[in-house]
Structure formats: structure tokens, C-alpha cells
A and B are shown apart, each in its own frame.
Chain A
Amino acid sequence: MPEGTGAATTGADRGLDVPLVRLSGITKRFPGVLANDEVSFDIRPGEVHALLGENGAGKSTLIAILSGVLQPDSGRIEVNGRPVRIASPRDAIRLGIGTVYQHSTLVPTLSVVQNLMLGQRWWRPLGRAAALARLAELSALLGVRVDPDATAGSLSLGQQQQVEIVKALWRGERVLVLDEPTSMLTPQGVEELGQVMARLAARGFGIVFVSHKLQEVLAFGHRVTVLKLGRKAGEIPPARLSALSPAEATAEILDLMFGRGAADPEAPRRRASTIRADDAPLLEVEHLSAGEGAVQDVSFTLRPGEILGIAGVDGNGQKQLAEALAGQLRAEAGRIRFAGRDITRLPVARRHALGLRYLTDDRLGEGTVGGFAIGTNLVMKRVGEPPFWAGGFERPARIAAHARELIGRYDVRTPGPEVPIATLSGGNIQKALFGRELSGEPRLLLANKPTYGLDVANIRAARDRISAAAAAGVACILISTELDELLELSDRIAVMYRGRIAGIVGNGPDAERAIGRLMVGGA
């Protein structure tokens, strides 16, 4: 049983050296995987402790142990110096540990304040007035402004996350755990999150911050811990971190993550164009509208080997455009021609058979069936087709062999093709999906935010894969909110604003400025 309420402890009765939470020797084993191996991790008051590591290193597992979702096989957890057991998320809250998970837990149809009141015990409800007061108090603490009566679904992702943070601190939690909080945010949202973390740290909160982006880690983190293959590869304490220059710190973290001498995978570069200008356009989109105004009057063409970047602030119709092209969303007006053929009315499966591949950004929601084996997920868009099925019957050996090949080629870290895909780490699921979409004979790759949640080395690998596909003649549409990614890979960049293409700019020295103008609706 957990002892006492860590939340109530104040700085006065706590020596400054005692961490709010101390994990020591935490080990967590899954079938075939040692996800955490004797990991020690401290959360100290006033500190943002950044947790890094390549995909599958064990970060989410450690977070799950902290927040009571998983139980460690061995190891000690202390809160305010006292040993505790965090048997459930409720225990974690009682011990003063609030967690914001990567995926939103808000009910989109409820208002902000209703969402916040949801977590209360039914026998000890807080009235609306008290809830509003608590919200005001926490908004002031975080330095954010939240409209209590806005429906959660109508907020931007950044605002939703602020509400999630309010929710995580609702009962006076002193520790805030954030698992990859920035991966879906706009640069401005990231900036605001950084300020929120800084304010909380200044008031003595302890914060855990998981991220794959080194700039963010250096900008917001006070202490850095790197996990590698489940083990703690190293820790950089605040004194040392502040003494290092950003370049030195980056080099040191990369060393810890990938071993000595790893080149900075984030170093800017630009790919040479591989457009096959003599070929006929592969994709011609004319005046396409879809999704009840989400996509309006979009036109462009794409040649084999060309990469068209699609920039824009998240939520300006990029996803609906991708779905309309893939066939998941009905075109309300306009035409789509693929290899000279009108595909406007073709269903998803027929477009897939023609070589149109949609790498979705919603990996768990629609990209996979979590409980099914990796092998099954890898043939999910080819159910019934040879060589994986013969006469309607599954050929498990073929499916497994195909899976093993993709797992090897795309470096998916897993014990084997038969494990449920939901047990893979976030980044490894994405690698598997890359393998699925690029296997067979792709002619058009529609990649929606292909690199979010990937570690720096895997981002490099993913971008190289897109380049290689283009070099092999595959036309690519790259939807991204990462400007550097678009500038590295694209031949041209279209900017979406409120469902329309505000403009298409050739990739060149002035592209960045032109895109920035178009993104906010300027001409």
C-alpha cells in the first residue's frame, strides 16, 4: 500500500536533496524483451528531467511504471524518501504523480470544465464553482488562458494539452510526467509548453519530459537521462548540462544514444531532385473538394520521382486531402487522375492495387489492429491475395516470412512476427508501417507526418527511405509540419491554409520565407 500523500508534503519538511520520486534498479521484462534493465531515475523539485532514447529504448515503459499502469518486476520506488508501491494510476495520483499521455484522454464533446470534473470521485464531487476556481488557480500557475466552457474538441492540440496538464495537476500533484508531449504540436505550441514547464519548475514541481528532439531537450531540460536498450546509458546533471555548449551537449547525448562518433543526424541537408520530367504526370488533381469544406478546390500534378511537400499548420485540411486521395474520404467535387486514369470514384482497395500507398499518421487508430500479430498487420492491405493466401486459405509460413523480411529490412525491434503489434514501441510500429506501404510495387507514396515519434537515427532512416523511393521513380506526397523535413526532401512545397492550397513554391533558397508567409494566410 502506498503510504501518506506525497502531494501534501511541502518544501519545508523535505530536504532539498530528497527527490520527489526516486526509481532505483527498475527492471521490467516482457516476453522476449528486457524493456527496463536496472534503471534508476530521479525526479527532483524544480527540475525538468528530460528522458531520451532511441525507439524501443524503454521510455514509455518507465513512464508507465511511474504512473501505475505497469508494475516493475523488480526495483524500488520512493516518493519523498519513503518506499511505495504504485499499483494503479489512482495510486500514482494519490502519491502526487500526474501524467499526460501521448494520446488525448479528453472527451471531445464535453466542455473543458466538464472534462476536468470527470475524474472526481462521485461521492466527493466538487461543485462547478469550485471547479472553476481550481481551473483559474491552475491556469494562473501555468500562465495559460483556457476558456472553461469551450468544448474540448474545438480546442487546438496545444490548448487541449494545456487542459490535460491542468487535469494532471488537478488534485495538487507535484510531479508532472509528459510522454512525447511535443510530437503533435505546432512550433508555437512547443514554445508555450516550454514556458509552462519552466513556470512549474520555478515553483518547485518535478517534471519528466520525454522527447526525441534534441533542441527541445536542450531548451527545456535541466537534467538529461538517456536510455539505450532498456539500460540507463547515462545521465547529464544540471551543472554539467549548463556548462556545455549546445553543440557539445548534442554530441554528448548522441554519443550516449547511439555510441561514439555518431554523426548528427539532424544536420541539415538537401536531396538532389529525381523528377523524371519526361514522364507523364502520375497524379493529376483538379479542383478537388472533400470533407465538407475541409478540402476546397485543390489542384496540383505530380510526376514520377517527384516529392511534393505539403506544409501548413496542423488542421488545415492536410489529413482530409490525404484521405480523399487514398479513397477514404469521398470527393465532393473535382477529379483525381492516376496514371492517366480517372480514380475519383475508385474505392480504397482498387487505388491500393494501382500502387497508391497511404502511410497514415494515425498509427494506432487506423493503421493497425493492435491485438493482431505484426505479420498479419503487415499484410492487412492485401488480405486474400497471393502469395499470402491460396484458394482463400491463409499461408502462415508465407506471411511470417514476409514479416521477417520487413522486420529485418526496416529494423523493427521485436521478438518476432507473431507478437501483437501494439506491444511494439511507438517508433517501431511506424517502421513496420513504412515496410508495409513500401513493399510490393508502390507508385505513389502518400506519407502523413511520417517521422513523428521517431528517434533521430530513425528519422534519418525514414527520410532516406523516402528519398530512395523517389529515386526509384515513386512519386511522393509528404505531409509534414516539420519545415526542415519539407525543405530537405521536397521538390516543391504546397502550403495548405483553411482547406485550400495557398500556394506552391519551388524548393530553393527563398522557400522558407515564402512558406512562412503562406502558412498564415498571406499571399
Chain B
Amino acid sequence: MSAAATPAAAALPAWLRALVPLVLALGIGALILAALGRDPVQFFANVLNRAVFNRSGLQETLVLMAPLLLIAASLIVCFRAGLWNLGIDGQFLLAATFASAFAAAWVAALPYWVAMALLFLLAAAVGAGWAMLPAFLKARYGVNEIVSTLMMNFLGFGLSAFLIKTLFGDPEHPAPQTTMLEVAERLPRIGETLVHVGVVFALLVILAVHVVMTRTGFGLRLRIVGHNPRAAEHAGLNVRRLTFAVFAISAALAGLAGAVEVLGVRGVVRADWHPGYGLLVVPLVFLARFHGVAAIAFVFVFAVLSIGGESAARRADLPNDFLLIMMALILVILAVTDHVASRARG
């Protein structure tokens, strides 16, 4: 039946549809707060005051956004192509580990920007390399990439810790970790702020990814594969090669996220470090319906909630888990509004 295939797009402008679940979830969050005897207005005011209307808080928010934006870009590429690269966390961590392992030495030996460029390339290559096995299994044998990429995460976490404890470890340091990149040698800050250039880089990358996915022939090829692989074969697209390309690009972007985090903020990777950003960003990208600009907005909201929510929760004497509940609410409501919208168009 032709009607079943109609996208809900016709009914509401996209940005409005994305906003509805967000507003609803915040509203329900407010009700829960009120039920718990907390002042919701005060709570959200605290969040905003800490994470947006406060100079250093806003800077923290922006800094947190950098790796999240690159991961969002990574996911937009693979989701639009209909591939579930859920191995972003493994790709991220391995790339961060490699970049961190060589950072101090290369920065000492090479001109600064050459060293940085090489470290970013290294991270991208490590990320992409880590995705080649799932890519091959998918392209050659049709192995479900969700399973294979999740498995590669465990392998990646283990390998990263193993490398740090053996080859990449800093012998001077008692706990297993890579050699620290000095604060002065991390990615340069913009003006007098905490915000490093990696934030700008991440913004440019996600915008570029958006343009490539929506305006170019390459992006269209990926979207055709994503929507209907059989139509892609029929139209003469090389689905296998595109599958490799998607995994490579997506994982390289996840690798860049690792580089930005470690070269811009942390300067070091400890064997037990394991931020798990990837699976946090997956729902944001869905909420944004794979739209790059919308993803920026949702990553911003998420960063605000993380930075500001922590202190607001503390002040309201609530456990931090409250924030997770809010995020989960947003997602559940997204699913519900989507379902309602698709029923309503009938």
C-alpha cells in the first residue's frame, strides 16, 4: 500500500517535530520535580545559570560538545547509510589511546601543527582500521554489523588497556597511563577562554558532513543504500564498496573525536578511562533525525543538561540519576510522538 511509505514529513516542519518531544519531556521532568517537592523553575534556572549564563560554565559546555559533535557526525554518516556502527566507543578509545601515546613525543620532535595534523590522521586511521573487520564481514557475508561492532568495542577496550599497560605506558607514572601531554601543548585555546580550537573543528566537521550527506552525489548514494539496498543494486551502485566507505568514514570521525578529547582536554589516557560517549550520542542523533544542524542543537542541550544538571541536582538534593531519567524520558516521548504522528496521517 503506497500510503504506508509516506514519511510523516508532510505534516509538520522538521524542527518543530524534533522540539515537541523535548518540550514534553522537560514538562514531565518539571512535574516530577514538583511531585518531589522541588521547585522546577528553580531547578531549570540553576541548570541554565550554571551551563549557559555563566562564562566559564558556557565554556565547559562548549568543550564537552567537541567530541560529542564528532561522534554525532560519525553516526549521521552510518545511520543515513542504514548501517549501525555501534562500535564508536571502541574506535574512539583506541584512537584516543594511539594519539595520546605518540602525542608528547611527536610534539617534541616535529613542528607543532605538523605533529597535531599527524596525530589527528593517526587517530582517524586507527578508528577506521578498527572498523574494517565489521565492514568486511558485512560487505562480504552480510554479518549483522550491530553485533560485530559491539563485539569490537569489548575487544577495543581490552586492547587499549593492554597497550597502555605494555607498550604505551608511561614508566614514570605509578598507575597505568600514557605519557601526559603538557597543558601548554594541548590544542590552543581561543582567546582567553577554555574553549580550544577542537570545538570549532568539530562544528565545521559536522556541518561538512551534513552538506555532504544532503547535497552531494556521494551522500545520495549512501542514502539510497540506507533506504533500499536492493534499489541501490538496481541503480548500479557498488554497495560493497560503499559499505566499506561508510564504515571507514564513520569510524574515522569517531577516531577524531578521541583525538580531540585527548589532545584538547585530557592530555592522557588512563587504562581505566572509558567515557562511553558513543551510546549517549546515538539517541541524540535519532532525535535530530540525522540532520547535522539539529544534531548540533541536541548535543548542545545534552551538554547543558550534563554540565548544569549536575550542580542543579546537587543543589536540589537529588541524585545525579535524575538527569538520566530526563534523557530517557525525552527518548520515550520521541518514540511516542513519532508513532502518534504516523497514525495521524492515515
* A interface list, Cβ under 8 A from B: 31, 60-61, 64, 69-71, 101, 327-328, 347-352, 358, 360, 362, 364-372, 376, 380-381, 383-385, 389, 392-394, 420, 422-426
Contacts and interface: CB of A to CB of B under 8 A. Distances in A.
Given A368-B228, A372-B223, 6 more contacts: A31-B10, A64-B3, A372-B224, A393-B215, A422-B6, A425-B2
18 contacts: A69-B3, A69-B4, A70-B346, A101-B1, A349-B236, A369-B227, A371-B7, A372-B223, A372-B224, A372-B227, A381-B235, A383-B217, A383-B220, A383-B237, A392-B216, A394-B216, A394-B220, A426-B2
Contacts of A425: 2
Contacts of B217: 383-385, 389, 392-394
B233 interface: yes
Nearest to A68: B346
Interface in B203-226: 215-218, 220-221, 223-224
Contact of A392 (B2, B218, B235): B218
B6 to A, nearest CB: 6
Interface of B: 1-7, 10, 215-218, 220-221, 223-224, 227-228, 230-231, 233-238, 346
Contacts of B220: 376, 383, 394
B3 A367 contact: no
Contact of A366 (B5, B216, B231): B231
Q: Is the interface of B mostly helix, strand, loop or mixed?
A: helix
Nearest to B220: A383
Given A392-B218, A393-B216, A394-B217, A371 B234 contact: no
B6 A360 contact: no
A61 B1 CA distance: 9
B60 to A, nearest CB: 37
B136 to A, nearest CB: 20
B224 A368 contact: no
Nearest to A351: B236
Contacts of B228: 365-366, 368-370
Contacts of A71: 346
B234 A360 contact: yes
A369 B231 contact: yes
B235 A422 contact: no
Nearest to B221: A383
Contacts of A328: 233-234
Nearest to B11: A31
Contact of A358 (B2, B215, B221, B234): B234
Which 4 A-B residue pairs are closest in the complex by CB-CB distance? A349-B236, A384-B217, A422-B5, A348-B236
Contacts of B221: 383-384
Contacts of A426: 2
Contacts of B236: 327, 347-352, 381
Given A60-B1, A69-B1, A71-B346, A366 B6 contact: no
A70 B3 CA distance: 8
A220 to B, nearest CB: 23
B305 to A, nearest CB: 32
A433 to B, nearest CB: 11
Contacts of A366: 228, 230-231, 233-234
A67 to B, nearest CB: 9
A74 B236 CA distance: 44
B1 A368 contact: no
Contacts of B7: 371, 420
A71 B215 CA distance: 36
A64 B237 contact: no
B337 to A, nearest CB: 19
A367 B238 CA distance: 16
A425 B2 CA distance: 7
Contacts of B6: 371, 420, 422-423
A369 B3 contact: no
Nearest to A385: B217
Contact of B234 (A347, A348, A383): A348
